Amino acid sequence: MKPFRFTSETGLVRWTGYKAQDLNSFLDGLEKVGGSSIYYHFYQSLYRKHFLAVDFMHDFARWVLISLNLPPLAERLAQIDPTDYHSIRKARERMIHYVRDFIGEGGQWFRIPATAAFYFLQQDSFVIRTGHEAGDLQGFHDCLKQVGESSVYYHLVEARIRLGGADNDFSAWLEHELKEKALADRIRALNIHRRPIGVTRELVVAAVRRRLEDGGA
């Protein structure tokens, strides 16, 4: 059996060189920036400003609402929920579709000042082993309580994009190495984009603890 090695991620944010001051330049940026920029603004924004997750969740929708003052488009973009999209490409295509359609509707919009421009950023991610390793469920439980939030983020959130679909590193290991499929599925079912990562961690810890109390591996 392979042990679970807790890994952590630290990000460095870079400007892509694209910025938008109106809808056309916004569309241009959406079409041309690399996938890591879409990832940064669409998924990671939740965790930088996580408690916004009730309304206009990602950076794109919020900028269209607050800076461009276009609520109808902002609502359409906000409705593209990171929970439903495990593919950057599909999320990007959907956003481009809505912006193109909106431009095609021919409404009036304006160029806004540079101070309110949208800067398309991207993140370089540097992953490193934390030194925490688990070989059984009790060890996994103990490590999970100790590691930093950036490690939980890496294994639960970033993993969904890395692995594709709704899977995550914790569930994959629990299912394949410890044969704990029911517990793995419970963690997969958590709606991770709706709450701060610290709260999600508590839920995972509680689920593992319950399984241990039931006599799990």
Rg (CA), the chain: 20
Residue 1 one-letter amino acid: M
When asked if residue 49 is in the footprint of other proteins (CB under 8 A), the reply is yes
Task: Fill in the amino acid letter for 180.
Answer: E
Q: Would you give the end-to-end CA distance of the chain in angstroms?
A: 13
- Residue 192 CB, nearest distance to other proteins (Å)? 16
CA distance 65 to 78: 10
Binding mask 177-216 for other proteins (x = CB under 8 A): -------------------x--------------------
Residue 88 interacting with other proteins (CB under 8 A): no
Pair 148, 8: CB distance under 8 Å: yes
Binding map of other proteins across residues 143-182, x = CB under 8 A, - = no contact:
---xxxxxx-------------------------------
- How many CB atoms sit inside 10 A of residue 5's CB? 14
Residues binding other proteins (CB under 8 A): 8, 10-15, 17, 19, 36, 47-52, 66, 114-115, 117, 119, 121, 124-131, 146-151, 196
